[in-house]
A and B are shown apart, each in its own frame.
Chain A
Amino acid sequence: MLIKLTGGKVYDPENGVSGVVRDIYVENGRIVAPRPDAKPDQTHDVSGKVVMAGAIDPHTHIGGGKMTIARMLLPEDHMGDPVARTDITRAGCGHAVPSTHLTGYRYAEMGYTACFEPAMLPANARQAHMEMGDTPMVDKGAFAMLGSDDYFLRQLSEKKDFEAIKDYVAWTMHASQAIAVKVVNPGGISAFKFNQRKLDLDEEHAYYGVTPRQIIVNLARALKELGVTHPLHIHGCNLGVPGNMQTTLDTIRASEGLPIHLTHIQFHSYGTEGDRKFSSAAPQITELLNKTPNVSIDVGQVLFGQTCTASGDSMRQYAISKSANPKKPVVMDIECDAGCGVVPMRYRDKSFVNALQWVIGLETFLMFDDPWRLFLTTDHPNGAPFYTYPHLIRLLMDKSFRDDMFQTINGDAQKQSILPTLTREYTLDDIAILTRAGPARSLGLKDRGHLGVGAAGDITVYTDNPDREAMFQTPEMVFKGGELIVRNGKVVKVVQGGTHVARPDYDKGIEKSLKDYFDRFHTMRMDNFKVSDEEIVTGDKGSVIVQPTGPRVS
């Protein structure tokens, strides 16, 4: 079937197209070269509308045990937001931690066609994929969490051959069906189980004697040499600690030219200036980042309201559990693999700390030069639920709106902030990079995030409304694989979406040592640990999309 979108203003930065009026043709789910002579089966007149590729969220907690703990924990979050089933959609509920089906519908209704779960514990990978399997509409993918798992820490402390570390990293990606690897509080989740309460970049793990710096460098190098496109995704040490800017600056320097991604950097950009010993370090951090082209970031913007933080960082989540609102933190030590912490949180614009967090995120957005190295996230649900993205986009695109909002926040935070002096306004091109082209390039999704020939027919059409919040809130049309799935911000057709994975080469010999490890220490057999393709592709639902990896080098 040939579909034609005619007359739209196309924003496709990957292909250097900026607001040019042109027709787009989609055939059998893919974008094809213009065929002015052919008679399309369907024509959509999108004259005057803004056309972009479907948006991609490279860091959103949508699936896996900690989200279901959060769902279980917060019936009050759900009762206020019930959604009944319709003839085509399932029932659901939830604001901060929505149910799985609703997560898919709401992302699609906001113009998103792919979402990546950044913190999949390998021990919990099966459930993460089951939950993502129940999240329709969008493509999915997940990052395997490594760095506090005992197998890797043993390898590192025993100074195992680096090739074996690479084999293990690749094996884990295969076994857990991951597209990338994340490290969370490197070594710190494990250290917390040994009663360490803090682990700075060069501090030694009490049992293994290794440092977060070593963990980061080994994992980053392993991924690079394995040819995995997305660099090591790092949730650094000391999340949320006033003064953690120094650790963050040191972490940036520690990368020594290796590609790395620093996630939710807002939570890691805190200074200790001022009466309250809490200040923005966004200027210092963005200054260094602007000079460090091997590092990409996402912000983890805080927006005001009720949410729930959910992280693999059991050490830091335990530490902030006193701030839980409502007061019911959950912390878990998990399977000699990782951990998690789920802490409900209410960010208040009149709170000095929360207001400053809001400011720090925005300063980071506005002072970081290269949109290709910056992704738009709230670290859903940690900084705010994902529905707040349109509001965040307006804050970035509309200086006067930003100034109005600034007036409403805590006065002391206002006094400390340089935000009013930052005049930058994001353009539609910038937004298309931050929410499409950039994440796709970084994750290695060759055929997503752009509208060139051969790309998937994942397309979003917006009304060109000067109120950018309204514009990005309710796209007029969303296509997934060439099918119209959302019209005027409402789901009109339910599709399943695929699961993106990457499969770097590894030496199967690693399984000998792994099998021994599982048999001796685990409560699960190695072969049962692995998630098969058939578990993702159940019946006629789902597909596994293997994205390419580069050649393995040493």
Chain B
Amino acid sequence: MPPAGGSAARVGAPSPFLTRVMTRRRESCFRTPSRAILDLAFLGNSHIMSSPPVLFHDVACPFCGMICDDLEVERAADGLKVRRSGCGRAASAFERKLPPSSPMIAGKDVPFAEAVAEAARLIGSASQPLYGGLATDVEGMRAVMALAERTGGVVDHAASGAQYRNFKVLQSVGWTMSTLTEVRNRADLVIIAGTDVQALHPRFFERIVAPAESMFGVTPKDRTVVVIGEGLEKAAKAARVGKVVSLACKPTEVGEVVGVLRARLRGFSLDKVKFGGVTLAEIDTVAELCRAAQYGVVVWAPAAFDFPHAELTVDQLAGLVKDLNPTTRFAGLTLGGAEGATTAASVATWQSGYPLRVSYASGAAEFDPARNDIARMLKAGEGDLLVWVASYSPDFVPPRTDLPTIVLGTPGLKPPKGTQVFVPVGTPGVDHAGRLIRVDSVVSLPLKNLGRAALPSVADVVSAIEAAL
């Protein structure tokens, strides 16, 4: 029988309008501005972990864009321990010992309320605050959007440079894409373009490219991996798929190699026989694989193409998918999305209408992906205050800037010199519950509060700042 909530039969109200309204005024797990948390300076995570060990199941990992949710994590007196399914990156991130950390103004410890009041004062007097970093969860991003709107700020995620290589293609020509579960069960040809997938998502091969079982009987042996790039075939070979084909070329050459592949698929003859380190014969082999595939997937992370006009490379990849779909089935799968990048772009899009790089200077959202690039603005000396949000990794520090800076950061993040206000914040999915959108922009996962440390969430802090304006 169904869980709590029940059916009408069980509600059984005598009213002719048999309707039950459940309005929960109690604290929701997604927004917990607990007084106790807000008032405490954070003294390191040892002092709250005196209770007996607790094992959490089905834990979602927020430390890369794949958000694997099959982890088991134990909380014991000496901290968290990943007991099952985590990769090395997950283990080190979950198990990281947090140093003591306190809200600070100009490097001096202060109570939380003072830090919030000072942040509100700085933001309130800024004429163009820049809200950057944005490594947070859905609630954090919602709070940042509300504050940015109210204060005429600019909103941009630190990984936008990479994401915009994709967005430019999407906004110019569209594309055909797939998602993780679809690829896991279906793909018999995976073309990895220029991307060290293993480094970005240590469990991608295990979970997506070569799972032991698939719904449609595509075994690892039935799968072919093509890597277009240098030194990327090792992980594919380790995954024991049926076949690995490597087209060795530099990231800057991927676009040309894929362009030639498209030309060959269309039946063009070419004078040149070598493109970067790749021969026409090798490309023709891949063309045959493409034609024979039942469901081919072209995989890339836009961060891998870190050179000017790399959107043209992404355009070739999307174009390859487009060329093949009239006769067989192909789709793209774009990767990356760590540090809440996909979440930030999605929330910004549904609330403002644009995927980040918006300015609220006029009160309405103005979209200009070139101008509202916060990294560029900082270099050009634009804006008059930087608000930096970094709730996952201690290495996610703001770029160098002379602007006064407010940092909402995970303990251990070293605020750069000149940071006016520092507020330690919890990591979603570790210190508090939350939600995060996966790199395929379709699935979102609930994040658990593992009780590592009593720290406020970004949403708590940003809302407190907004209330203090």
Chain A residues with CB under 8 Å of chain B are: 65, 67-69, 71-75, 78-79, 82-85, 90-94, 97-101, 121, 123-124, 126-127, 130-131, 134, 150, 170, 174, 192-195, 207, 227, 318, 321, 324, 327-337, 342, 446-447, 454-455, 498, 503-508, 519-525, 527-528, 532-535, 537-540, 543-551
A73-B174 in contact given A100-B351, A521-B181, A521-B214 (Cβ < 8 Å): yes
- Tell me the residues in window 128-160 of chain B with beta carbons closer than 8 Å to chain A beta carbons: 138-139, 142, 146, 149-150
CB distance from B156 to the nearest CB of A (A): 15
Q: What are the 3 tightest A-B residue pairs by CB atom distance, in nearest-first order? A: A548-B8, A84-B363, A328-B174
CB distance from B169 to the nearest CB of A (A): 9
User: Is B177 touching A330 in the complex (CB atoms < 8 A)?
Assistant: yes
CB distance from A516 to the nearest CB of B (A): 11
User: Is A100 touching B350 in the complex (CB atoms < 8 A)?
Assistant: yes
CB distance from B179 to the nearest CB of A (A): 5
| Interface check B89, CB cutoff 8 A | no
CB distance from B412 to the nearest CB of A (A): 28
Tell me the bound Cα distance from A545 to B171 in angstroms. 38
User: Is A330 touching B181 in the complex (CB atoms < 8 A)?
Assistant: no
Which residues of chain A are within 8 angstroms of B442 by Cβ–Cβ distance?
Answer: 65, 121, 123-124, 127, 332, 334-335
User: Is B170 touching A504 in the complex (CB atoms < 8 A)?
Assistant: no
Interface size on B, residues (CB 8 A): 90
Could you jot down 13 A-B contacts, CB within 8 Å? A92-B352, A130-B138, A227-B7, A328-B172, A332-B176, A333-B329, A335-B180, A447-B19, A498-B23, A520-B215, A524-B69, A537-B23, A546-B11
Tell me the bound Cα distance from A69 to B350 in angstroms. 9
User: Is A522 touching B30 in the complex (CB atoms < 8 A)?
Assistant: no
User: Is A91 touching B446 in the complex (CB atoms < 8 A)?
Assistant: no
CB distance from B463 to the nearest CB of A (A): 9
| Interface check B285, CB cutoff 8 A | no
Which residues of chain B are within 8 angstroms of A91 by Cβ–Cβ distance?
Answer: 149, 352, 360, 363-365
User: Is A82 touching B366 in the complex (CB atoms < 8 A)?
Assistant: yes
User: Is A98 touching B353 in the complex (CB atoms < 8 A)?
Assistant: yes
Which residues of chain A are within 8 angstroms of B184 by Cβ–Cβ distance?
Answer: 521, 523
Tell me the bound Cα distance from A72 to B138 in angstroms. 17
User: Is B174 touching A503 in the complex (CB atoms < 8 A)?
Assistant: no
Which one of B21, B24, B70 lies within 8 Å of A525 (CB-CB)? B70
Which one of B139, B181, B213, B367 lies within 8 Å of A336 (CB-CB)? B181
User: Is A332 touching B16 in the complex (CB atoms < 8 A)?
Assistant: no
Which one of A82, A123, A527 lies within 8 Å of B58 (CB-CB)? A527
User: Is A543 touching B23 in the complex (CB atoms < 8 A)?
Assistant: yes
User: Is A193 touching B445 in the complex (CB atoms < 8 A)?
Assistant: no
| Interface check B221, CB cutoff 8 A | no
CB distance from A452 to the nearest CB of B (A): 9
Which one of B1, B142, B177, B295 lies within 8 Å of A505 (CB-CB)? B1
A548-B11 in contact given A194-B329, A333-B331, A525-B70 (Cβ < 8 Å): yes
Which one of A67, A447, A455, A528 lies within 8 Å of B69 (CB-CB)? A528
What sequence of 0s and 1s flags, for each residue 54-77 of chain B, a beta carbon within 8 Å of any chain A beta carbon?
Answer: 000010100000101110000000
A454-B17 in contact given A73-B174, A78-B354, A91-B149 (Cβ < 8 Å): yes
User: Is A538 touching B28 in the complex (CB atoms < 8 A)?
Assistant: yes
A523-B443 in contact given A75-B171, A324-B174, A535-B435 (Cβ < 8 Å): yes
Query: Taking each of B18, B150, B365, which has the highest tally of chain A beta carbons within 10 Å of its own beta carbon?
Result: B365
Which residues of chain B are within 8 angstroms of A126 by Cβ–Cβ distance?
Answer: 435, 443-446
Tell me the bound Cα distance from A470 to B74 in angstroms. 63
Chain B residues with CB under 8 Å of chain A are: 1-3, 5-9, 11, 15-25, 27-31, 58, 60, 66, 68-70, 138-139, 142, 146, 149-150, 167, 170-182, 184-186, 207-208, 213-216, 294-295, 325, 328-329, 331, 345-346, 349-355, 360, 362-367, 435, 437, 441-446
Kindly list 4 other residue pairs between chains A and B, CB separation below 8 angstroms, not including A68-B350, A506-B2.
A75-B367, A321-B174, A524-B181, A534-B30
CB distance from B321 to the nearest CB of A (A): 10
A545-B353 in contact given A170-B2, A335-B442, A538-B31 (Cβ < 8 Å): no
Tell me the bound Cα distance from A532 to B346 in angstroms. 21
User: Is A90 touching B5 in the complex (CB atoms < 8 A)?
Assistant: no
Which residues of chain B are within 8 angstroms of A324 by Cβ–Cβ distance?
Answer: 174
B32 nearest CB neighbor, chain A only: A539
Which residues of chain A are within 8 angstroms of B11 by Cβ–Cβ distance?
Answer: 546, 548
Which one of B9, B174, B208, B351 lies within 8 Å of A523 (CB-CB)? B208
A508-B1 in contact given A99-B350, A503-B7, A535-B30 (Cβ < 8 Å): yes
Which residues of chain A are within 8 angstroms of B150 by Cβ–Cβ distance?
Answer: 85
Which residues of chain B are within 8 angstroms of A525 by Cβ–Cβ distance?
Answer: 58, 69-70
Which residues of chain B are within 8 angstroms of A99 by Cβ–Cβ distance?
Answer: 350-353, 365
Which residues of chain A are within 8 angstroms of B178 by Cβ–Cβ distance?
Answer: 332-334
User: Is A124 touching B443 in the complex (CB atoms < 8 A)?
Assistant: yes
User: Is B2 touching A524 in the complex (CB atoms < 8 A)?
Assistant: no
Tell me the bound Cα distance from A335 to B27 in angstroms. 33
Which residues of chain B are within 8 angstroms of A123 by Cβ–Cβ distance?
Answer: 179, 181, 442-443
CB distance from A7 to the nearest CB of B (A): 26
Tell me the bound Cα distance from A137 to B69 in angstroms. 34
A523-B180 in contact given A446-B16, A504-B7 (Cβ < 8 Å): yes
Tell me the bound Cα distance from A207 to B167 in angstroms. 35
User: Is B21 touching A498 in the complex (CB atoms < 8 A)?
Assistant: yes
Which one of B3, B7, B19, B353 lies within 8 Å of A78 (CB-CB)? B353
Which residues of chain B are within 8 angstroms of A130 by Cβ–Cβ distance?
Answer: 138, 350, 435, 444
CB distance from A95 to the nearest CB of B (A): 10
CB distance from A478 to the nearest CB of B (A): 20
Which residues of chain A are within 8 angstroms of B2 by Cβ–Cβ distance?
Answer: 170, 174, 503-506, 508
Which one of A90, A328, A548 lies within 8 Å of B146 (CB-CB)? A90
Which residues of chain B are within 8 angstroms of A192 by Cβ–Cβ distance?
Answer: 329
User: Is B22 touching A537 in the complex (CB atoms < 8 A)?
Assistant: yes
CB distance from B153 to the nearest CB of A (A): 12
Which residues of chain B are within 8 angstroms of A540 by Cβ–Cβ distance?
Answer: 25
Which one of A72, A94, A335 lies within 8 Å of B182 (CB-CB)? A335
User: Is B15 touching A454 in the complex (CB atoms < 8 A)?
Assistant: yes
Which residues of chain B are within 8 angstroms of A506 by Cβ–Cβ distance?
Answer: 1-2
Which one of B1, B9, B22, B215 lies within 8 Å of A543 (CB-CB)? B22
Which residues of chain B are within 8 angstroms of A78 by Cβ–Cβ distance?
Answer: 353-354, 365, 367
Which residues of chain B are within 8 angstroms of A524 by Cβ–Cβ distance?
Answer: 69, 181, 443, 445
User: Is A195 touching B367 in the complex (CB atoms < 8 A)?
Assistant: no
User: Is B31 touching A101 in the complex (CB atoms < 8 A)?
Assistant: no
User: Is A93 touching B353 in the complex (CB atoms < 8 A)?
Assistant: yes
User: Is B294 touching A195 in the complex (CB atoms < 8 A)?
Assistant: yes
Which residues of chain A are within 8 angstroms of B68 by Cβ–Cβ distance?
Answer: 523
Which residues of chain A are within 8 angstroms of B142 by Cβ–Cβ distance?
Answer: 134
Tell me the bound Cα distance from A520 to B185 in angstroms. 10
A131 nearest CB neighbor, chain B only: B350
Tell me the bound Cα distance from A91 to B173 in angstroms. 28
Which residues of chain B are within 8 angstroms of A72 by Cβ–Cβ distance?
Answer: 167, 170-171, 345, 349, 354-355
User: Is B365 touching A331 in the complex (CB atoms < 8 A)?
Assistant: no
B176 nearest CB neighbor, chain A only: A331
User: Is A534 touching B29 in the complex (CB atoms < 8 A)?
Assistant: yes
Tell me the bound Cα distance from A83 to B366 in angstroms. 10
Tell me the bound Cα distance from A148 to B207 in angstroms. 23
Which residues of chain B are within 8 angstroms of A550 by Cβ–Cβ distance?
Answer: 8
Tell me the bound Cα distance from A196 to B441 in angstroms. 25
User: Is A538 touching B353 in the complex (CB atoms < 8 A)?
Assistant: no
A92-B353 in contact given A84-B364, A546-B11 (Cβ < 8 Å): yes
B208 nearest CB neighbor, chain A only: A523
Tell me the bound Cα distance from A207 to B5 in angstroms. 37
Tell me the bound Cα distance from A92 to B1 in angstroms. 43
Tell me the bound Cα distance from A332 to B325 in angstroms. 12
Which residues of chain B are within 8 angstroms of A85 by Cβ–Cβ distance?
Answer: 149-150, 360, 363-364
Which one of B58, B69, B364 lies within 8 Å of A93 (CB-CB)? B364
A73-B350 in contact given A318-B325, A508-B1, A524-B69 (Cβ < 8 Å): no
Tell me the bound Cα distance from A534 to B3 in angstroms. 14
Tell me the bound Cα distance from A174 to B6 in angstroms. 10
A543 nearest CB neighbor, chain B only: B23
